[in-house]
Amino acid sequence: MISKIRSQDLSKRSGKLTLSELAKIIGVSRSTISNAYNRPDQLSKELREHIIESATSLGYTGPSAAGRMLRTGNAQAIGLIFYERFHLIFEDEQAREILKGITEVLEDNGVSLLMIPNMSTPNKNNQALSALVDSFILFSGYQPEQSPLVETIKSRGLPIAAIDHKFNSIANVGIDDYRAAKRIADKVGKLGHQQVVVVAMAFSPDASRSFVGKERYIKAKPRTSVTRMQGYMDGFEQCNVHPDIYETAAIDSSGFDGQSEQLEAIAEQILRERPHATAIVCMSDYLALAVLQAAKHLTLRVPEDLSIVGFDGIPSAIKAKPSLTTLIQPMQEKGRVVANMMLGKLPKQDTQLETQWYSGSSLAPPKTS
């Protein structure tokens, strides 16, 4: 019966079969077809298998995802907005670890991850406005509070959580950046270092690669780099240390997409301009690795001539020679926590995770003359 109707009906049409057409051809109701795909427990095993096999033979691949969302209000997908071009997520060690944590949770719960371009793409915020998702994860700390992208996702009225950046009315999963930075400063200061340079991430979008004064970060709007800088300065002040501050541009802290040579040139410039520095404290491991390479170019021994401390605990920092002393962030755990928030398994509230000090080989007391 199916093959006869198939030859008659399909010869008169083109395109995908509708649910109504499929029901007519197979000889069952629309609701029975729908149950076969969406509520299999409502049918006997034999009937469901018959419907699926028949539908497949007719070229029907299943209900529309958009239609299912309209009916159920659930897309079974979470949108991830990354702070850079998506191909770079596979070069950024931090992002990869966070992504591992997110996908681990979503996979266990049968939920998909939809990666949505940020405002650096030609189509701007259109994807965020039309994406078929149940919630958003905003891993885009460079976005200002009033950016069109943030305003767009807020306008959707869906649950939102951010990673490593505090937006108003959006839950954030991160660490206590102030306390972590202060801990680093305390360890460096108590070792006896007096000539210290802090290599900072950008305090604002208009950052220039140069040494800056305290007023630069004091006047800046709150963001991760500003909070860390406050922690460094308060920690060093307690040790009676007055570090110089070098502010990098926004992209400099990443170290991917061909930035390594540029970072090493910046690091070499810092070391040439501050030849008496005994310790360089960096806001990211990528910056610290660049300083390590620059020190080698200038034949400085680490840690005998120069101590270097990073921040993040990325694998390449731990594997470096000498290994970097750094503060390890729980990247995968951040991903797991934010994913569980979006699934409704954890409260949607600001959450700070603990960091871990890593004693590498790049930190030692300064040489005595």
**pLDDT digits 0-9 by tens, 17-65:** 777 888 888 889 988 887 887 777 788 989 988 888 888 888 776 665 5
Strands 160-163 and 171-175: parallel
Q: What pLDDT digit, counting tens, does each position of 139-185 carry? A: 876 666 777 778 888 888 899 999 998 888 899 999 999 999 999 99
pLDDT for residue 3: 42
pLDDT attached to residue 61: 67
Report whether pLDDT(69) > 70.
no
Model confidence at 355, in pLDDT bands (50, 70, 90)?
very high
- Structure confidence by residue, pLDDT tens digits, 187-245: 999 999 999 999 999 888 787 789 999 999 998 888 889 999 999 999 999 999 999 99
Residue 120 pLDDT > 60, yes or no? no
Q: What is the pLDDT of residues 299-337, one digit of tens each?
A: 999 999 999 999 999 999 999 999 999 999 999 999 999
Cβ-in-10-Å burial (0-12, 13-18, 19+) of 110 comes to: exposed
Residue 40 φ/ψ, nearest 5 degrees: -60, -25
Q: What torsion do the CA atoms of 50, 77, 333, 155 make, to the nearest 10 degrees?
A: -160
* pLDDT above 90 coverage of the chain, percent: 55
* Residue 254 contacts residue 286 (beta carbons within 8 Å): yes
Predicted confidence (pLDDT) per residue in 52-63, tens digit: 888 888 877 666
- List CB contacts of 170: < 8 A, sequence separation 6 or more: 138, 154, 160, 161, 162
Cα dihedral 16, 20, 26, 30 sign: positive
Q: SS3 of 70, please?
A: helix
Q: What is the pLDDT of residue 217?
A: 92
Q: Distance (Å, rounded) from C-alpha 5 to C-alpha 355?
A: 66
Q: Determine the pLDDT at residue 330.
A: 97
303 preceded by a cis bond (ω within 30 of 0): yes
Residue whose tokens read 């670890």: 97
Query: What's the number of CA atoms in the CB half-sphere (13 Å) around residue 334?
Result: 29
Is a pLDDT exceeding 50 seen at residue 14? Answer: no
CA 107, CA 334: separation in Å to the nearest integer?
16
Average pLDDT over residues 118-122: 53
pLDDT at 20: 83
pLDDT of res. 11: 41
CB-based contacts of 46: which residues, under 8 Å, 6+ apart? Answer: none
pLDDT at 65: 55
Mean pLDDT of the region 335-359: 97
259: confidence class by pLDDT, cuts 50, 70, 90: low
Q: What is the pLDDT of residue 213?
A: 93
Mean pLDDT of 336-341: 97
pLDDT at 81 over 90: no
What would the mean pLDDT of 270-283 be, rounded to a whole number?
Answer: 97
Pair 306, 295: CB distance under 8 Å = yes
Q: What is the pLDDT of residue 169?
A: 85
Checking if the pLDDT of 115 tops 70, the result is yes
Instruction: Judge whether residue 130 has pLDDT over 80.
Output: no
